[in-house]
Homo-oligomer: A and B are copies of this chain.
Amino acid sequence: MKSSSRTVQKEATRAAILQSALLVFSERGFDGSSTRDIAAHAGVHHALIKYHFGSKDTLWRAAVTFLFERQAAEMSFDMPPGKLDTRQQRRDYARLVLRHYVLYCARHPEHARLMMQESLRDSERLQWATDTFIAGIARGSERFVRMLQREGVLPDVSVPALVYIIVGAAQPFYTLAPEVRRVWGIDPAADSVIAAHIDALLAVLVR
């Protein structure tokens, strides 16, 4: 583990490019983003993108990998915190998971923004992202939804439709924050607004 001043600076540059890529890709999409813009926003020369990441495509994949690894780190709900014997316990668990998911969406709106842009049309990038990350998360979501259906917390309807209803109820309020600010005059980044959105989402989804 080298930590010479040059290595530290190198990693800082790499991280700056990655964060800049997250922002630009999430706001303009892959085709609409330019490596020169990403480099300029990171304050480095555009040739460094090839040096650190190889190509625009590889940089995009590195950005997506960062997003899903962070999500996995911040949303580790594979094992419920306690026992889930009673219906009330499962309801509370559902509320807990949904609350944390909404908070994640509010904290990191660029995640859903970036993936949404890529899911609008089929592509090799979408195929890679689904195979590498999304398919596994989808299976976890399916188990989560089916458990809540068995318990009567969610209605017994199409599981894929339910998953997209839940995710769609959570994400757009934050991914479309610029529109929300202009149209409704409120800021989805404010804690009180987030709390109100969580209350609304739980009131609608968890019965």
Pick from B27, B164, B180, B203: contact of A172, CB under 8 Å: B164
* Known interface pairs A184-B138, A204-B162; A175-B120 also in contact (CB < 8 Å): yes
State A102–B171 Cα separation when bound (angstroms): 18
Any B CB within 8 A of the CB of A89:
no
Chain B residues positioned under 8 Å from A119 (CB to CB)? 175-176, 178-179
A81 at the B interface (CB under 8 A): no
Q: A158 and B197: CB pair below 8 A?
A: yes
Taking a contact as CB atoms under 8 Å apart, the answer to whether A172 and B183 are in contact is no
A131 to chain B, nearest CB (A): 8
For A169, the closest partner residue in chain B by CB is B165
- A160 interface residue (CB < 8 Å to B): yes
Specify which of A116, A126, A158, A196 lies most central, judged by the most chain B CB atoms within 10 Å of its CB: A158
Interface size on A, residues (CB 8 A): 58
Given known pairs A117-B117, A171-B168, A172-B167, the reply for A180 and B160 (CB within 8 Å) is yes
Q: By the criterion CB–CB under 8 Å, are A120 and B130 in contact?
A: no
Q: Which B residues are in CB contact (< 8 Å) with A121?
A: 27-28, 178
Tell me, in angstroms, the Cα distance from A193 to B161 when the chains sit together.
8
- Point out the residues of chain B lying under 8 angstroms from A26, CB to CB: 120
Instruction: Indicate if the CB atoms of B29 and A176 lie closer than 8 Å.
Output: no
Q: Could you list 9 further interchain pairs (A-B, Cβ under 8 angstroms) beyond the known A32-B32, A158-B196?
A: A116-B120, A155-B203, A157-B203, A158-B193, A160-B184, A161-B201, A162-B200, A165-B173, A165-B200
